[in-house]
Amino acid sequence: MKNKIVLLPFFAVLVFILSLGAVSAIDISVDNYYPAPVEAGEYLNVWLKITNPGADRPEYEAKNAVVKLKPSFPFSLDPGEPEEIVISSIKGGSFVIKKFKIRVDGGAAEGENKLAFQYADFKDAPWKEKSIPITVIESQTTFDVVLQELNEEGVFIAIANIGKNPANAVTVRIPEQEHFRTQTVSASIVGNLASGDYTLVGFSILPKTDNAQVGASETTTQEEGQQRRQQTLSGEPENLLVQIDYTDPLGSRRTIAKEIPLNPSSLTLMSAGTSGTGTTFARTGTAQNSTLSTLLSNTWFWVSIALIVLMIGSKVYRRIKKRKD
């Protein structure tokens, strides 16, 4: 009887130890991620698979397992996203899928970047870690926009693709804005701009005054209107907003907004010296086309052509006259 009493505590301790050993260790893997490859500056959706490889018995059930993203450049979570995900129960031999929405920094290096996750079998358990390679690419480009020319035909803007990627189906727009308006047409289709290419686009742009704004008399007092007119003619430059739409090499449509300083008073004087037909002009093209356009607009070029035509005509006339004699 004494032997039985002594053995009972021993068996109780043994059962307790075995029950602790039956706690299953979870494992994680990436079930899928999209897009692949991912672009720098965009979001990456990752579906994480959390598996309980233990036997399908109650003692192997994993309770309160924890997984989280390990923030490291260039991957991070947006503010408000849960830093840790707790799974209340994973039965032995089963798994659950959890989705993470991860931001990829715009300065991420192209190529493989390590995305790391940490996980624990239960709360307060030691953290384990796994990482996977994520391929990051850069498909966006950037533009330099400057005021190239201002004449009676309109405002001509030079746009250069200074990024390393091509821009396809480029469209340049002058959107609705506070200080300027376009006459009739507000957009120009440029086409494709390879890296290093530039183009000229022209618009007939006028300063916005109270007379040019629909319904302005209803919302603007005479004093405010007079103040705006004085600012328009004062020679103080305002920012002209230029919008560039293009398609990147991955087929995504993108928009870039640029601002260039423009003096409204120069536009007022320019419009006063024209016929005021309201036509919007455009001169577009690549660097080669711009050179041709410059050549064709040269006065001496046409004078030279006229002299050549006169010389040829004179020679032909003399030959015909000799034959008649």
In this structure, the answer to whether residues 42 and 132 fall within a common structural domain is: yes
Largest Cα–Cα separation, the chain: 155
Residue with structure tokens 């068996």?
Answer: 11
- Give tens-digit pLDDT for 166-221: 999 999 999 999 989 998 889 999 999 999 999 999 999 999 874 444 444 445 56
Name the more confident of 275 and 90: 90
Give the pLDDT of residue 183: 87
What's the mean pLDDT in 286-301?
Answer: 51
The domain boundary, picked from 137, 166, 189, lies at: 137
Which of 122, 137, 152 is the last residue before a domain boundary? 137
Long-range contacts of 122-126 (CB under 8 A, 24+ apart): 122/23, 122/62, 122/63, 122/64, 122/65, 122/66, 123/64, 123/66, 123/86, 125/66
> Which structural domain range is residue 48 located in?
22-137
Q: Give domain status of residue 85, yes or no.
A: yes
Q: How many domains does the chain have?
A: 2
Report if residue 15 sits inside a domain: no
Identify whether 37 is part of a domain.
yes
267 in the same domain as 169: yes
- Is there a single domain that holds both residue 122 and residue 179? no
Q: Which of 137, 157, 180 is the last residue of a domain?
A: 137
128 plus 217 within the same structural domain: no
251 and 127 fall within a common domain: no
Q: Under DSSP, is residue 77 helix (H, G, I), strand (E, B) or coil?
A: coil
Q: Is the pTM of this model over 0.85?
A: no
| Same domain assignment for residues 119 and 249 | no
Residues 147 and 281 in one domain: yes
Do 41 and 91 have their domain in common?
yes
37 preceded by a cis bond (ω within 30 of 0): yes
- Of 55 and 233, which is predicted with more confidence? 55
Residue 287 lies in a domain: yes
- Are both 133 and 148 inside the same structural domain? no
CATH number for position 69: 2.60.40.10
Same domain, 160 and 130: no
Give the C-alpha separation, 209 to 188, whole Å: 24
